[in-house]
Chains A and B, each alone.
Chain A
Amino acid sequence: MSTALRQTPLHARHEALGASFTDFGGWSMPVRYTSDLAEHRAVREAAGIFDISHMAEFFVTGSGAAAFLDHVLAGRLSALPLGKAKYSLVLADDGGIIDDVIVYRLADERFLVIANAGNRDAVAAAFAQRAAKITDVTVDDRTDELALIAVQGPRAEQIVLSTAGLEADDLPGLGYYAWRDGSFDGTPVFVGRTGYTGEDGFELLIDNAQADALWDALLSAGEPLGLVPAGLAARDTLRLEAGMPLYGHELSRDIAPAQAGLGRVAVMAKDDFVGKEGLLARDLTDAPVLVGLTAEGRRAGRAGYAVRGPDGTPVGEITSGALSPTLGHPIAMAFVKPELAASGTVLTIDVRGTAVPATVTDLPFYRRTK
């Protein structure tokens, strides 16, 4: 393992829990603690706690902050109400995707942008390059000072409410994709109600120095309720079941938002934003589009496997795939020719030489019951 891999402030906790580690976006991250299937099920049935401190946090401040984000992101963040969060995209000039991000409005002139670990430098560069064009905006990358802990699952609210030392007003009244200030033993903690699992849940942002104590307090409160530490393997199958894209798989510089079903995220009615001209210039008529695929049996198609039409000709490629732990059958996301993207279309996946029938299915594969 490369010594250049970065470690989160919770690394010693993961080692003590017996985690296996993987390189993810330049960070040494827990891939699983015991069993990724057990961790996946815990999140669906009770709750899981994830260290996602590798993710990047950019604070955007100033009287020009809203105008800046309207320019550098595909969405209209100036319209985001205080206290709310929104999913958005950083686009390249040609309309390809540099990253997908969550934006929180912290104040009229202050926003928090959470970006993927592996794209931190690319987002920082894109922001720096474009900040020069806007008056009075400051971008502050605080990733190295902050820990981010996610508690996800149907019991997440109960766990966060019962965690000793953690205070925040009326969390049951906090809606999905909203946030609130709280405190943990006197330290400020940012509580966002978002996630990447398809379940209800929270993401808690706190100074590195308090990360261990918050992790321990959440685990203590949650263990009687079935909370388990969960790694990136479970996180990946959870987000796949929920039909959520993962940068580097479903999203890349070669993909326009509309191909990945994210056309609505790019607000073309905005006067101007980075990537708008590129998107307008694109003819996506024949461009591959993202679909869900389901199959029978237990042999899953995986990223990079070919998707073929009824006559055996290649029509696309899988970007993510697994045997769905919740559904019990193989699921995948794939880019296929647009004329084959209708729900119910039968295709085949080339599983290492075996043609496995697969049916185009609406995303998500799994939706929680409210």
Chain B
Amino acid sequence: MTDLNSLSYTEEHEWIERSGDVATVGITDYAADKLGDVVFVDLPAVGDTVTAGDVCGEIESTKSVGELYAPVTGEVVEVNTALDDDPSVINSDAFGDGWLLKIRGTESVALLDRAGYEAFTGGAA
């Protein structure tokens, strides 16, 4: 079980887990609940360069499409290919097996800690 207090968060409802200069990125369970059942994920390719604050992918649910914003500037070093077969893991395990991609880089958008994110979502997270 991921310690949610160890993660950083964005106002675009993403979470980041840092390991050295690599950031693992996912969306929060709050975001997953708002989207509904995720049925398709469009992620950048390994080797692509993404820019913090820019759209780098899409997350589609049965009801809507959400844009994925890169929270960190850098090179995509890994994407979660298991999501191609079963994107529903984003709903069932948003902070674990539902991770989206890993980016090598340190420059990021403004980040929130857990308390800050909970305040941002009105305590609903």
Contact = CB atoms under 8 A, between A and B. Distances in A.
B56 interface: no
B111 interface: no
B113 to A, nearest CB: 26
B60 A299 contact: yes
Interface residues of B, number: 14
A246 to B, nearest CB: 13
A147 B97 CA distance: 42
Contacts of B63: 31, 36, 233, 236, 322
B37 A35 contact: yes
B24 interface: no
Nearest to A22: B63
Contacts of B33: 20
B39 interface: yes
Given A36-B63, A325-B62, A352-B58, A233 B39 contact: no
B13 to A, nearest CB: 15
Interface string A286-323: 00000000000011101000000000000000000011
B40 A32 contact: no
B7 to A, nearest CB: 23
B72 to A, nearest CB: 23
Interface in A133-152: none
A256 B123 CA distance: 48
Contact of B60 (A37, A237, A323, A325): A323
Contacts of A299: 40, 42, 60
Interface in B27-76: 33-34, 36-37, 39-40, 42, 58, 60, 62-63, 65
A298 B40 contact: yes
A36 B97 CA distance: 21
Interface string B65-102: 10000000000000000000000100100000000000
Contacts of A322: 62-63
A318 to B, nearest CB: 13
Nearest to A232: B63
A352 B65 contact: yes
The prevalent SS among residues of B at the interface is mixed
Interface in A332-369: 352
Nearest to A354: B42
A300 to B, nearest CB: 7
A37 B88 contact: yes
Contact of A37 (B34, B40, B58, B62): B62
Contacts of A36: 36-37, 62-63
Contacts of A31: 36, 63
Nearest to A237: B62
Contacts of B91: 35
Interface in A1-55: 20, 31-32, 35-38, 40
Contact of A323 (B34, B40, B58): B40
Interface string A173-197: 0000000000000000000000000
Contacts of B58: 352
A31 B34 CA distance: 10
A300 B38 CA distance: 12
Contact of B62 (A20, A323, A352): A323
A300 B60 contact: yes
Nearest to A234: B62
Contacts of A237: 62
A299 B37 CA distance: 14
Contacts of B37: 35-38
B62 A302 contact: no
Nearest to A322: B62
Question: Counting chain A CB atoms within 10 Å of each CB, which of B36, B62, B63, B91 scores highest?
Answer: B62
Nearest to A299: B40
A233 B36 contact: yes
A31 B37 CA distance: 12
10 contacts: A20-B34, A31-B36, A36-B36, A233-B62, A298-B39, A300-B40, A300-B60, A323-B39, A323-B60, A323-B62
Interface of A: 20, 31-32, 35-38, 40, 233, 236-237, 298-300, 302, 322-323, 325, 352
Interface of B: 33-34, 36-37, 39-40, 42, 58, 60, 62-63, 65, 88, 91
